[in-house]
Structure 1
Amino acid sequence: MKIDTFIKLGSLAFGVARDEKVQELLKMAHKGAKRRGLLQPPTSPPWGNQGRK
């Protein structure tokens, strides 16, 4: 990929991320994920805590 193409894609992605409608959509998704508990840290390590106190 040429460097100028990479720069154009980066500026396009940055422009989309700065769009108000996209930001509002991301805020709504973030609030919904928090409300459903999807963004909570795990209560125990994934390998388990068998027999330890």
Structure 2
Amino acid sequence: MAEADTIPVRIVQLNDAQALEAQLIELSIVVKRFLSCIAVSHVVDMSTTCRFIV
């Protein structure tokens, strides 16, 4: 997408409650992705550690 001349967007009118709901949903997606990345790196670290211990 960085090389694209245009990107798809959607403009909508939101009231405060709708905007807050959209922000909370987006934040939960970001947190889930972050936590899954942390979990994957932790499992990799543990498997590396276990290999050296065994």
TM over 0.5: no
TM-score, normalised via structure 2 length? 0.38
Greater per-residue helix proportion: 2
TM-score by length of 1: 0.39
